Structure 1
């Protein structure tokens, strides 16, 4: 059964911006939030001697309802979209509800949000100086188009500093440089198929810089693009006999990629 914030023993009434009434308990709010605690030390107006005092808050019903459910010792609702998460986080920060903030930080870097929009997760973490969350989110931005994804989260990115965004650009460039170096080292020109080295080097650098790949991904990519040659000598790294060994050496070398900002 969903708790409805209409308890008969409530000693405070909160009014949301859109006039929804929440009958709550001062002691719970005071424990969760020093801002609420200080607010409730001031005398509150009484409409009648039979009603608890009331406080008007600027939060919408949707935001206030979720915030209170995270404050109260009751089951918390799932937060599945960025707008809801951002709104509740703004309110939790305003009321200094540290217990709620801690739980929202965990939700922010959950797979659901990181897989959806890692750049937006990074931007929100930077806004509130969640350093560990920002660092973790940056690992998921390594293979995305920052400009394209940024177009969808401008509202959150406007709170992110230029330095924070520059760190992501540096991370992507550092990873690309590492891929370039590893591929070049492992694919030294020579052998009977040397004419194809330039093309395969370019293909590998572009693909490995764009997304995370394993050995099977690389082999499939090279075969699909016609880069694996049926070399009769069996010595050329682009031939069937040597290609898997070559690809493994490249993928293993990518363990040096910078993981995060």
Structure 2
């Protein structure tokens, strides 16, 4: 728990006390909670039993102090909880959805698809977005999963909360994009190597670098249907090394062709 925020809510003035499941009290104002949450707005219209020993009414909630502190930090002015992990964001989303805290939900949606998290754990983000019916965030995350081998990825607990339909949509995106990407691996007639592109009965054989590149690119695109790896310098260099002495020059001469193939793959549908 953020000590600064927790101490703030425990010492602040207020006209209502929220008591966490682990018996930590948070003093807040009804007007702020009612403005942020229709749940609390409706709750405060109900008759409240008089407090026996305290100046302010006490409302018991089912969240622990850490989670409650985060939620209040998202909706209460002057506070800024630090949410940097998917676990904390997921927990906060569950509470914000429960209490219908619209502004908190908007903040958490932005945090969920922050670039560092998308780079590190796109599959978990997709699962969390699907769990909470965040369609736009699910679409964003699905694009970033293209660089993963989905069937070889770790099974996170977040996947327990999504439907078979949501998981199938993601698998279908990968399958269809892979099939479409493989169709773009077509060698143009003017791509040749001066040394190893031999003529056989009027037909020109492909350069050795292309034969190696196409084989490995098919393997890679079948499991990770994105152009990031197959058109990297490291990937092309490996194909160059398997070719003849003039294959490196042939690859350089084929730069425009390779960029066209890459662009065609990049232009394929990339989200669910």
Q: Counterpart of 1:82?
A: 86
Q: Runs of 5+ in structure 1 lacking a partner?
A: none
| Alpha-carbon distance in structure 2 between the residues aligned to 1:44 and 1:114 | 47
What residue number does 2:206 align with? 194
Q: How far off is 1:16 after superposition?
A: 0.7
Moved more, 184-193 or 127-136: 184-193
- 1:94 paired with 2:107, answer no
1:100-139 → structure 2 map (5 Å cutoff):
100-139=104-143
Q: 2:176 aligns with which of 174, 179, 187?
A: 174
Instruction: Check conservation: 2:231, 2:262, Cα contact below 8 A.
Output: no
| 1:255 corresponds to which of 266, 269, 272 | 266
Structure 1 stretch displaced more, 79-88 or 178-187: 178-187
Cross-structure match for 2:201: none
Matched residue of 1:23: which SS? strand
Count residues in correspondence: 253
Match of 1:229 in 2: 244
- Alpha-carbon distance change, 259 to 122 in structure 1, aligned in 2, over 3 angstroms: same
> What is residue 152 of structure 2 aligned with on the other side?
148
Unaligned segments of structure 2, at least 5 residues: 199-204
Distance 1:9 1:220 in 2: 61
User: 1:245 Cα deviation (Å)?
Assistant: 3.6
Question: What's the secondary structure of 1:141's corresponding residue?
Answer: helix
Residues in 2 aligned to 1:256 and 1:5: alpha-carbon distance in whole angstroms: 50
What is the CA RMSD across the aligned residues, in angstroms? 2.8
